[in-house]
Chain A
Amino acid sequence: MILHIATKEIHHNLTTLRFALMIILLPVLFMANALIYSLGDNGYTTQIDAYNRQVEQNRKHIKEQADMSLAELALRGPGDIPKRPSRLIFCAGGVDEVVSRAIKMRSDGNISRSSGVEDEDYAWRHPLKLEYQIMPAGSNSTRYIKINWVFIGVLMSFFAILFTFDGIAGERTRGTLSLIMSNTVSRGQVLLGKYLGAFVTLMVPLIIGILMNLLIILLVGNIPFNSGDWLRILGIVGLFGLHISIFIFLGLLFSSRVSNAITSLVWLLLTWVCLAFVFPSLLGIFVSNLNPIPSVDEISMQRRAQLDQIDDEWREGPSPKLKKSPAIERPSVARLWATYFTEISDTETQIADGHIDRQLQQVQLARDLTQISPIATFQYAMEGLANTSIVGYMNFVKQARRYRQTFIDFVKTEDRGDPESLHIYPVKEGLSQKPVDPAGVPVFTEQISYRSVLSQVGLLVLFNLLFFILAQVSFLKTDVK
């Protein structure tokens, strides 16, 4: 019986204006998306080329330094850590569209400041620290909605509303609802039949669009998908399904609550506009305003003050602790310099890490709260699967920090193997002057975790259940006449 209602529903839908509109719009958007991301500049190919160049450059850089000496390598660091571009960026842009993802872990430029003491001619490098270069990726990135799968998903929710708003109310006005109910069919079955009908009507064109999109990307864009990517795309199709189904239930809920179809459509459209456009962005930015973080000026002032204080104490004040430059013959001086460097590096790391952590937490909180809107939840889940989410970026930052520690540990371990070294990190003179094997230097590899998507999927399922129950209860209570 359910199937019977569903088929009837599908047949009815196929002949409607809204179906025609959807059939026109979907392929256009999918084609635009595929062409823009596979042919346009800044597509995956350009990004992966830049990424590979960076990796190659790092390899060369490490080899050069390692051939010179361990000390040189220890001070110059392994180079910038690029984030591997996501192959699924056409699905969800996320953080990748907003900020460039590379963390600098390289120290360049010698410093020597004359201060009237003996260290005047000593040129040194600041010890290795992580610099988060979070500059805007494009100038007009924020004002435009990206034409990616997330956007298409948002439009699909719009169509879901269009296909369901008259599901119950329409039949009621036409008088067919009481005819259906006069058969031996339960209300639950009618609801499910309507649901299935709308779901199939929406999903089939969507899947065809997705296949077209992927075909173009594979043929034209030359993006090699591996099995993991296919799995993720499958997951994304699943997300589309969950997302669409929420709005079908929502549509049926409104449709059974009100007396005529058009009122239900008006209410649904208002709800949709709020959920899709106004609510996520406005609430997100509003929440982050409630949780203010220190401004860039404040941070840089604080940093300068702390560094000046350290410099006063060690090098530039009336009685500086560092009077001589470090040398192999003067281990005690080298130790003093090591303390100085460590203090600087600890301060800088603490401030920089603290700053980016607070920025990320602010966004994370805002994002968590905006998940009350199913559209936002859907978007974050998509970004999670495309590995462009804020959680993914946080993981990347964590791994970069861990990599820095691994690198320092590697330097210390290697250094212990050299009996001639003073074993004083991070002073150049205190470390081994012998070359090391470049192959042994640890290389950054990113571990991508998709676990964060689970919570969003859970939330989407919850939304489904909630609206299903609401729709069911509301339909049970509804008057068929």
Chain B
Amino acid sequence: MHTLWLVIQREFVSNVLTSRFMIGFVVCVLSTAVAVFVQVDDYEKRLAGYNTAVREAEIEAQEWDLYVNIKPKAHRKPNPLSIFNVGSENDGANTVTVELGKPVFELPFPIWEAPTQKRGSDNPFLAMFLTVDVVFIFKIVLSALAILFAYNTISGEREDGTLKLVLSNSIPRDTVVLGKYLGGMLSLFPIVLVSLIVALLIAVSSPVTDFDGNAVAHIVLIFGVSLLYVSTWYLLGLVLSVWTKEAATTLILSMFIWVILTSVHSNVVTFAVDKFSPRQSEPNFQVLQPAFEVWDQFKNERDAYIKQRGYEDLQGSISWEPGTNSTGMGTSSMSGGYFIIERYRVTNIDKADTTIFQEILGYQEQLRVEYADKTEEILNKPAEEQERNAKFADALSRISFADVYHFAAGAMAGTDRQRYNDFIESARAYKREIVEYLKDKEAFSSRAWFSTDKGTAELEDLPVFQHRRLSLSESFSDASVDILILLAWNIVLIMTAYVSFLRYDMS
């Protein structure tokens, strides 16, 4: 035990005293500070945009006096942890407008009156610069540092001739490997810790961030995974250091692997899957075609129902008091092909009996909601295809543990693509909630659906979209696969280092 401690201590001291430690420390802390500074600013902007959007939606909601007019919105709340890992926080829609007769879906190209909207970014040209956040810096800089600390552990000592001296003592080889690993990690630990503390301090000093216990727990978890990631790189360096005879070769080889794993592999994979997706969906408006047919069916079914009730058309179901000089019904219809929303205006409504008309509307509008759901299924397909492609690319990227770390951090920060899909899914759930709410109120067949003459729509207790953050255990289980992969790499590498060093030929 004592010897192990000696090896650790010696390794730690020899690392900390080098210039690469100081430089690595300064580079890592400085770049983390700048990255957090930039990301806090970006988060503030996103939050301001979100607050404006929510406020505007509230004002808009006050103007709804008819049930047919309601258009509640689901806003994606900016995630405070995006300061540490931007992930897909800036991608995709951030507002979903829930309209009863409209499906909720996303398409890769803009369409008229799309239900999912993205609030514009202040300067889209800035996307030319890579997004740099804490996780990115850890992924690139810390891993490089880990290699720079590990490359000469064995091969360097061998070149210096000190390895023989060490082993001539009564120290078992496994103690040497373990000591070197722990010593190296001990010298990397303060760099990770200080960087993260600096990041936290800058993030907390901004007036808009309020990290609750849950968020802090997530950050601690990200810290833990970052250590695991750094340890993977350190072990890789150690293994290569055992396998090669010269320190320079170790460094060249490990830096080459570093370049491949951190920047070549995942980019080639994502890029290739993106451009040669095995399942390619129609990139143009043709995907909308089947949706148009659904709405033709809707019209047929609706007309059939009106006929079955014994009326020629909708207007026929309204009866006016005798002697009303101008009778009639106006329909204003809005259609983007993938939806049809109709509003009705009855002339001289105070003299009209609309009981049956309301009954038919009650049937028709619920039917419209059902058809909107059918369209949703069809229009969701391109997004599903895209998601499958992306998943495929992710799976291939996981070969590199740099990307495994990236995914794990994203899952824990709640900024990965899965969370975004959850947002769209919860917007759909919100729509169902609204539909249920209106059904309970019998709003579909009420007079306030189309006219305000006998009271306006009562929407005081209309459900509001609730944003849910994941609890620690939920995010942990999301990230568990990736964490396990990292852990597995660690175990495999430490075993390899151990076995290789046992068989190490000292001559």
Contacts and interface: CB of A to CB of B under 8 A. Distances in A.
Contacts of B148: 266, 269-270
Given A17-B249, A270-B27, A282-B35, A99 B124 contact: yes
Contacts of B49: 295-297
B164 interface: no
Contacts of A458: none
A179 interface: no
A204 interface: no
B121 A98 contact: no
A284 B92 contact: no
B398 to A, nearest CB: 15
Given A135-B110, A286-B34, A144 B267 contact: yes
A351 B390 CA distance: 38
Interface stretch (B198-206, B258-266, B364-372, B468-476): B258-266
B110 A42 contact: no
A12 B128 CA distance: 40
Nearest to B20: A266
Interface stretch (A72-80, A360-368, A467-475): A360-368
A220 to B, nearest CB: 13
A134 B251 contact: no
A297 B52 contact: yes
B127 A141 contact: yes
Contacts of A146: 267, 271
A211 interface: no
B248 A261 contact: yes
Interface in A265-310: 265-267, 269-270, 273-274, 277-278, 280-286, 288-289, 293-297
Given A273-B144, A285-B38, A40 B27 contact: no
Contacts of B114: none
B123 interface: yes
Contacts of A296: 49, 119-122
A25 B258 CA distance: 13
A275 B323 CA distance: 86
Given A39-B276, A135-B124, A286 B27 contact: no
B125 A99 contact: yes
B24 A270 contact: yes
B140 A266 contact: no
A449 interface: no
Instruction: Give the one of B37, B41, B88, B132 with max A CB within 10 A.
Output: B132
B126 A285 contact: yes
Given A270-B27, A282-B34, A296-B120, A142 B268 contact: no
A144 B266 CA distance: 8
Contacts of A390: 125, 128
B275 A282 contact: no
Given A41-B275, A145-B267, A295-B49, A98 B127 contact: yes
A277 B140 contact: yes
A285 B34 CA distance: 10
Interface in B30-53: 31, 34-35, 37-38, 41, 45, 48-49, 52
Contact of A142 (B127, B156, B275): B127
B131 interface: yes
- Specify the main secondary structure of chain B where it touches its partner: helix
Interface in A235-278: 261-263, 265-267, 269-270, 273-274, 277-278
B40 to A, nearest CB: 10
B152 A281 contact: no
B432 to A, nearest CB: 26
Contacts of A297: 48-49, 52, 119
- Specify the main secondary structure of chain A where it touches its partner: helix
Interface residues of A, number: 68
Interface in B92-143: 92, 108, 110, 119-132, 137, 140-141
Nearest to A277: B140
Contacts of B52: 297
B279 to A, nearest CB: 13
Contacts, number: 189
A305 to B, nearest CB: 15
A94 interface: yes
Contacts of B131: 142-143, 281
Contact of B144 (A21, A41, A269): A269
B127 A262 contact: no
B132 A281 contact: yes
Interface in A161-184: 162, 166
B271 A36 contact: yes
A17 B129 contact: no
A139 interface: yes
Contact of B132 (A98, A263, A285): A285
A214 interface: no
A8 interface: no
A262 B247 contact: yes
A136 interface: yes
B129 A281 contact: yes
Nearest to B110: A135
Nearest to A166: B248
B90 interface: yes
A330 interface: no
B125 A360 contact: yes
Contact of A282 (B31, B127, B128): B31
Contacts of B249: 17
A136 B31 contact: no
A265 B120 CA distance: 44
Contacts of B37: 286, 289
A18 B255 CA distance: 11
A43 interface: yes
B272 A142 contact: no
A356 B237 CA distance: 48
B261 to A, nearest CB: 13
A139 B124 CA distance: 12
Interface string B209-234: 00000000000000000000000000
A162 B91 CA distance: 38
B3 interface: no
A273 B140 contact: yes
Nearest to A162: B252
A151 B31 CA distance: 22
Contacts of A283: 34
B267 A288 contact: no
B270 interface: yes
A138 to B, nearest CB: 8
B253 interface: yes
A155 interface: yes
Given A136-B127, A140-B91, A362-B126, A270 B20 contact: yes
B48 A295 contact: yes
Given A41-B283, A278-B27, A284 B268 contact: no
A151 B27 CA distance: 23
B45 A29 contact: no
Contacts of A135: 110, 124
Given A32-B272, A145-B267, A151-B263, 11 more contacts: A40-B272, A99-B125, A138-B274, A143-B130, A144-B266, A267-B23, A273-B141, A281-B130, A285-B38, A285-B129, A393-B125
Q: Can you list the 6 inter-chain pairs with the closest CB atoms, starting with the nearest?
A: A40-B275, A296-B120, A281-B130, A284-B129, A363-B125, A281-B129
23 contacts: A17-B249, A18-B256, A25-B264, A36-B276, A39-B276, A40-B274, A41-B280, A94-B128, A134-B124, A136-B127, A138-B274, A139-B108, A144-B270, A147-B267, A162-B252, A262-B248, A270-B148, A277-B263, A282-B38, A285-B129, A295-B49, A362-B123, A362-B125
